[in-house]
Chain A
Amino acid sequence: MQGTGRGSGEPIVRLQDVIKSYELGSVEVQALRGVSLDIEPGEFTVIAGPSGSGKTTLLNLIGCVDVATRGTVRVAGKDTGALAERELTELRLHALGFIFQSFNLVSVLDAFQNVEFPLLLQGGLSKTDRKRRVDELLDRVGLAQYGHHRPNELSGGQRQRVAIARALVTNPRIVLADEPTANLDSATGHAIIDLMKELNTTQGTTFIFSTHDPKVMNQAGRLVELVDGRIASVRQTGVDTGAPADPHAAASAAV
């Protein structure tokens, strides 16, 4: 992470001729067939495409949970192909935040503890500092009152907001979200996207998420369309750095 400050000019994510193939029995399936993509810090990038187009694979490579078969993937200034398992874990812990389609909260921990969890893994913060940080995040996603609720006591939207708080609590450079709205109704989904956009605007965090929901795509600052493992188009929508598209998004805490 060091030496890759925001002002360095290097893209925070750089993919060059990335090919990813899987063995499915004796058949080799190519999920990505040569993808090159740069993402600048602070961008709000949506990766769109039909099922099986390679969205998830692309996110997994950027998220350092998988490595490319060929080509290079640089995340926060590091070549993930050259890193050991332990270093990849460190990178995920300190530079990345994850938001999952199915929220993936730890079911036996309450909202507060779920958000606190990455901080505990990082270590270093005192108990009071941790509490302040977690409370701040819960407040920001509008769940200040829900800290002691277990995941099964929360609605889908609330859970996803806990997940967002958890992804952001470590102040990561990049937040990855794999179809974060897929398991939510459209109104809630919108509110979640608005929340992420707001955080993108206020914190300058780089957001990269995948979706195949056209309504969500419209919210993107930059839209990357994948088809059959290749980038079909890249569109700048021009909303990625300015004020939130919907000035009322900040009120989405009511979801």
Chain B
Amino acid sequence: MFWTLVRIALRNLLAHKLKSFIVGGILVFGTMLVLLGAALLGSIEASMAESITGSVSGHLQIASSKGKDPLVLFPGPLDGNEVGVIEDFPKVRAALEAMPEVQAVLPQGFDYAMIFAANLIDRKLARMRKLHGAGDLEAYRPVRDHVRRIVELLDRDIQRIRRVIDLDKDDGGRRGAQDVHQAAQPEFWADFEGHFSERMEFLENKVAQMAIGEDILFIRYMGTDVERFRQAFGRYELVRGDEIPAGQRGIMLNTLYHEEMLKQKTARRLDKMKDKIAEGARFESDDELREWRRMNIAQYKDVSWQLDNAAADRVVAKLRPLLGAADVPEAVSPTDAADPIRPIDAMLRVFLNMDDATFAERYDFFYATIAPELQLYRVDVGDTLTIRGMSQGGYMSSVNVKVYGTFRFEGLDKSALGGMVNLMDIVSYRDLYGYVTAEQKAEIAALEKRSGVQEIAAENAEDALFGEDADLAADASATGFDEFADVDMSKGARRWSEKLGDVVYTQAQIDGGVVRNAAVVLRDRNQLEAAKAAIERVAERDGLAIKVMDWKQAAGMLGNFVSVIYAVLLVAILGVFGVALLIINNSMVLSTIERTREIGTMRAIGAARRFVLWMFLVESMVLGVVFGAVGVGLGAGIVGWLGHVGIPAPNDTMVFLFGGPRMYPWLSPMHVGFALGLVVIVTIVSTIYPALLATRVTPLEAMQDKDA
């Protein structure tokens, strides 16, 4: 009987080919859309989960259950920061890591801070002092001339800016501009060595700061147990330098941050141009390439002012044969104040004006000849950074940390979301954030006790303050401030910090301090929900006062991203299937009317109503299955093809979502089942009304002769 129904259905569909194909076409399109959408979104969700869980968040995040604001790892402007503090992290870690589901629990803290890196003048002045002190005047003079030239350029820039912006409204601005102008005068440099200390101090204290735009940078970092972090997060990969020695303070810079924010700009743009050209972009057709070239030419000074005269001469000597016949203006004396363009300036502008033919050669030349004369990175591996942050209490705090190396998260090195988070030891994080560990608290208390500070009741305040002052003073000098005893205070706090850099902290100290949130890395990421529930049970049992979030919740807006695309896709699918539903319904109603006589005949010769109902339902099921299968086939073909060639990420955010520069979507049986199921359900639903109409046809309809 079923096959009769299928046969009738097929025959009916074939008998109305045009109609079947229109309806079928819509169903094919709809199914394809469902399948493609489900496959792409499923892949994005999985890739994104990979990206986030493998680089920043782990699979689950835990935070204090008493926090006022929800924990958000990628905060938007409206996300609050008061997430509270996990009460007893060592206990939490022990309890969770004892669970079979959990691989590791890592303390974390995210924050922004400022970096102060010495600018070019600072560094050159330091070198001047050193050479002058050593009496190496031969080496000293070119550096001095370079500084003079930088100051002159700075003065010209400031004078030009003053014509546009009214700096004089601000007192400091006006004074600074006057100072630079004064230092740019020939009188300032006449007999410079005769007034060495006085002039150097003027340059160091008044002039250097005017080049300020150069030297403040923002850095986003994650304070964590770095050593365990790199073991638990599979995507972590050392690129240059060394890992931070176990238990010590230090920072690891993310490659993208290092390249994007700290690299010399001309070099960075050349790198980007190279990547883009490698992808097939050409100057005449690519706006971005032309824009980068324009900026390189316009900002040639980024290169030239790092070159002192000797370096400039070396570069010019090699540039001349490279540029050959190119129209390079002849040398102009650097002392010609009216138009102080050195040959290097003119030649750099010609050099940087690259095109498709010359790019590769000049790129190599840049790195072989010019780059060695430059400081390529403002902060590089081995440097010590001063990082200044706003502590929780609202005051500025700063720490000095050594840059041990650079790292990347595999596949995410071009994504701003994955590539801008730098790693810092959690002890320094706590210092920056203004947290004091329980141990430090105890230490302070002990110090206070030893130095005789005690609660003084009001009635004996006078005694306490004046009666025993001799004893107090004696106490203070006797117990001393041990920590500072061997610090040479005259060298300043910097030395002290460097010394801190050698301290090796124990695991108990790393875990024992304040932890705002912690990442939980699971052994099996597919068991996320189960693991979350299990952790919640353990937290409840042990009274850990934590709440557990999956990475999607913790990612905040970013986690919602997938939900948003899902919603958009859902609307599109609803639209297509809504139309399909209407059209199928309509055509089936027409078909019922057309086939009234046939239905009546079937009823007359003994077909039950149920048979008629099934006849229509089977017909639409056949329609749904056949065209759904075609749609699935086409969709699977497209997904398969995309899975083969990959979808390139259109921008850096997408790199993160795609889990790499290209996404290779895949199809799961669930997607196919979902698409096919949906299309069949839609066709059946759209047939219910016409099928019910059909069951109301009476056998009498067969008897009425159409000619009568």
Closest to A120 in B: B4
Given A56, A89, A109, which contacts B606 in the complex, CB threshold below 8 Å? Answer: A89
One of A100-108, A188-196, A230-238 contacting the partner:
A100-108
The CA of A94 and the CA of B14, in the complex, are separated in Å by 31
- The answer, yes or no, to whether B516 is at the interface (CB within 8 Å) is no
The CA of A86 and the CA of B77, in the complex, are separated in Å by 69
The CA of A136 and the CA of B119, in the complex, are separated in Å by 106
Q: Which residues of A have CB within 8 Å of B114?
A: none
Most chain A CB atoms below 10 A, which of B4, B705, B708:
B705
Contact in complex: A86, B605 (CB < 8 Å): no
Closest to B14 in A: A108
Contact in complex: A166, B15 (CB < 8 Å): no
Q: Which residues of A have CB within 8 Å of B598?
A: 104, 106-107
**What are the interface flags for A68-98 relative to B under an 8 Å C-beta threshold, 1 for contact and 0 otherwise?**
0000000000000000011001101110111
Contact in complex: B597, A104 (CB < 8 Å): yes
Contact in complex: A92, B8 (CB < 8 Å): no
Closest to A110 in B: B11
The CA of A60 and the CA of B704, in the complex, are separated in Å by 10
The CA of A252 and the CA of B254, in the complex, are separated in Å by 97
Closest to B706 in A: A102
Q: Which residues of B have CB within 8 Å of A146?
A: none
The minimal Cβ–Cβ distance linking B353 to chain A, given in whole angstroms, is 76
Contact in complex: A120, B1 (CB < 8 Å): yes
Contact in complex: B605, A166 (CB < 8 Å): yes
The CA of A179 and the CA of B706, in the complex, are separated in Å by 13
Q: Which of B689-708 contact A (CB under 8 A)?
A: 698-700, 702-703, 705-708
Contact in complex: A101, B606 (CB < 8 Å): no
Closest to B705 in A: A101
* A121-B698 contact in complex given A90-B606, A92-B606, C-beta closer than 8 Å: no
The CA of A147 and the CA of B619, in the complex, are separated in Å by 24
Q: Which residues of A have CB within 8 Å of B1?
A: 120-121, 123
Contact in complex: B12, A93 (CB < 8 Å): no
Q: Which residues of B have CB within 8 Å of A104?
A: 597-598, 601, 604, 702
The CA of A206 and the CA of B375, in the complex, are separated in Å by 112
- The answer, yes or no, to whether A122 is at the interface (CB within 8 Å) is yes
Q: Which of A10-43 contact B (CB under 8 A)?
A: none
Q: Which residues of B have CB within 8 Å of A59?
A: 703
Q: Which residues of A have CB within 8 Å of B611?
A: 121
Q: Which residues of B have CB within 8 Å of A107?
A: 15, 598
- The answer, yes or no, to whether B263 is at the interface (CB within 8 Å) is no
Contact in complex: A106, B703 (CB < 8 Å): no
Q: Which of A127-184 contact B (CB under 8 A)?
A: 166-167, 170, 178-179, 182-183
Given B8, B603, B703, which contacts A108 in the complex, CB threshold below 8 Å? Answer: B8
* A66-B12 contact in complex given A86-B608, A92-B606, A104-B597, C-beta closer than 8 Å: no
The CA of A10 and the CA of B444, in the complex, are separated in Å by 117
Q: Which residues of B have CB within 8 Å of A182?
A: 705
* A121-B604 contact in complex given A108-B8, A108-B15, C-beta closer than 8 Å: no
The minimal Cβ–Cβ distance linking A25 to chain B, given in whole angstroms, is 18
Closest to B5 in A: A120
Most chain B CB atoms below 10 A, which of A86, A117, A118:
A117
Q: Which residues of A have CB within 8 Å of B606?
A: 89-90, 92-94, 96, 118, 121-122, 170
The minimal Cβ–Cβ distance linking A170 to chain B, given in whole angstroms, is 8
Q: Which residues of A have CB within 8 Å of B7?
A: 109, 113
- The answer, yes or no, to whether A63 is at the interface (CB within 8 Å) is yes
The CA of A105 and the CA of B631, in the complex, are separated in Å by 35
Contact in complex: A60, B15 (CB < 8 Å): no
- The answer, yes or no, to whether A243 is at the interface (CB within 8 Å) is no
- The answer, yes or no, to whether B638 is at the interface (CB within 8 Å) is no
Closest to B15 in A: A108
The CA of A59 and the CA of B11, in the complex, are separated in Å by 32
Contact in complex: A109, B706 (CB < 8 Å): no
- The answer, yes or no, to whether A187 is at the interface (CB within 8 Å) is no
The CA of A100 and the CA of B703, in the complex, are separated in Å by 7
Q: Which residues of A have CB within 8 Å of B705?
A: 101-102, 178-179, 182
Q: Which residues of A have CB within 8 Å of B706?
A: 102
Closest to B703 in A: A60
- The answer, yes or no, to whether B602 is at the interface (CB within 8 Å) is yes
Contact in complex: B8, A65 (CB < 8 Å): no
**What are the interface flags for B504-537 relative to A under an 8 Å C-beta threshold, 1 for contact and 0 otherwise?**
0000000000000000000000000000000000
Contact in complex: A108, B607 (CB < 8 Å): no
The CA of A182 and the CA of B11, in the complex, are separated in Å by 29
Contact in complex: B607, A66 (CB < 8 Å): no
The CA of A219 and the CA of B291, in the complex, are separated in Å by 101
Most chain A CB atoms below 10 A, which of B597, B603, B604, B699:
B604
Q: Which residues of B have CB within 8 Å of A60?
A: 700, 703
Q: Which residues of B have CB within 8 Å of A97?
A: 605
Closest to B602 in A: A106
User: What residues of chain A have their CB less than 8 Å away from a CB belonging to chain B?
Assistant: 51, 56, 59-60, 63, 65-66, 85-86, 89-90, 92-94, 96-98, 100-102, 104, 106-109, 113, 117-118, 120-123, 166-167, 170, 178-179, 182-183
Beyond A104-B604, A121-B611: 10 further Cβ-contacts under 8 Å? Answer: A51-B708, A63-B604, A65-B603, A66-B700, A89-B603, A98-B702, A104-B597, A106-B8, A117-B602, A118-B605
Task: Please name 14 pairs of A and B residues whose Cβ atoms are closer than 8 Å in the assembled complex, sorted by A.
Answer: A60-B703, A85-B609, A89-B606, A90-B606, A96-B606, A98-B702, A100-B601, A100-B703, A106-B8, A106-B598, A118-B606, A121-B605, A167-B605, A170-B606
